[in-house]
Structure 1
Amino acid sequence: MMKKLDNRGTAAFEFIMVFVPLFTLMFVIFDLGRYAITMQSLRTLASAGARAVMISCYTPAMLQNPPQSPAGCTGDPLSTAAKQNAAPFLYLGHLTPTLTVGASANNLTVTASQAQFTMLMPIWGTALDKPSASTQIPF
């Protein structure tokens, strides 16, 4: 005579075996997508800032008599409204990106960064926190 096996809890165990990897994968995909959209928005903001610097600093007088240093063009060229129009995703959740313009000997570097951004999944550590994107403009 065969003894009947006790199958209580089998469905719950199988559910957990599928649920944990499935939802982990789902959150990883969501987190990486959020990071990719943030990076693309930062690149867009850096490009918009570089365009504004070029419009305001590349005047006909400057092109005829170029200065030795582009230091006069290092302020933030965009207003908050212009930044929101260029990259609205960066302002979700009351976050505010920063746009900085730095000068070196013969180029300007426009850097857009999101210092408050953190990844949701702890598996990344801090490697992908505080993303930034830069654009260089020859001067």
Structure 2
Amino acid sequence: MFILIFAIFDFGRYAITMQSLRMLADASARANMLSCYSPAVLASNSPSSCTGDYLTAAQKQAIAPFLYNGGLSPTVTTTAGTSVLTVTASQSGFTMLFPVWGTSLNAPSVSTQIPF
């Protein structure tokens, strides 16, 4: 019975982390679009210079406070492809507490794509 309770708690913690990463990736993509997309960028058809991080650490913590528990901090990266910018939010220090999951759910990561 206790094993089942701990497994549910651990999986719930993982689900909250994934949802928080989704919110952070979406907010970072929105900040990227508002800060960087301009008619000049769209006319040249290359927003490759828009790969910066446009959210401050305080804004990230306000968007997804759960990700900062335990001294962890998420990372947000933006990469430019041929017709899309990809914003990836990841939590590299996250580990599952219950060993039955193995390492497959450790270090979750979520991506959002912005077409141009």
SS in 1 for 2:76: strand
Q: CA deviation at 1:61?
A: 3.5
Give percent identity, aligned residues only. 65
**TM-score (normalised: structure 2):** 0.96
Structure number with bigger Rg: 1
Query: 47, 63, 86: which is aligned to 1:109?
Result: 86
CA–CA distance in 2 between the matches of 1:130 and 1:34?
A: 13
**Relative contact order higher in (CA < 8 Å, ≥ 6 apart):** 2
Aligned residue type for 1:138: P
Q: CA deviation at 1:89?
A: 0.4
- Residue number in structure 2 paired with 1:89: 66
CA–CA distance in 2 between the matches of 1:90 and 1:81?
A: 12
Q: Residue deviations 1:24-69, cap 9 Å, x none?
A: 0000000000000000000000000000000011124334xx2242
Q: Residue deviations 1:55-100, cap 9 Å, x none?
A: 011124334xx22422100111211001001101000111000000
- Residue number in structure 1 paired with 2:54: 77
Q: How many residues align?
A: 116
CA–CA distance in 1 between the matches of 2:76 and 2:34?
A: 16
SS in 1 for 2:104: coil
Q: CA deviation at 1:104?
A: 0.3
Q: Is residue 24 of structure 2 the alignment partner of residue 40 of structure 1?
A: no
CA–CA distance in 2 between the matches of 1:62 and 1:116?
A: 36
Q: CA deviation at 1:110?
A: 0.3
1:30-69 → structure 2 map (5 Å cutoff): 30-63=9-42, 66-69=43-46
CA–CA distance in 2 between the matches of 1:62 and 1:111?
A: 21
Whether the aligned pair in 1 keeps the contact of 2:74 and 2:89 (CA below 8 Å) is yes
Aligned residue type for 1:112: A
Unaligned residue ranges in structure 2 (runs of 5+): none
**TM-score (normalised: structure 1):** 0.80
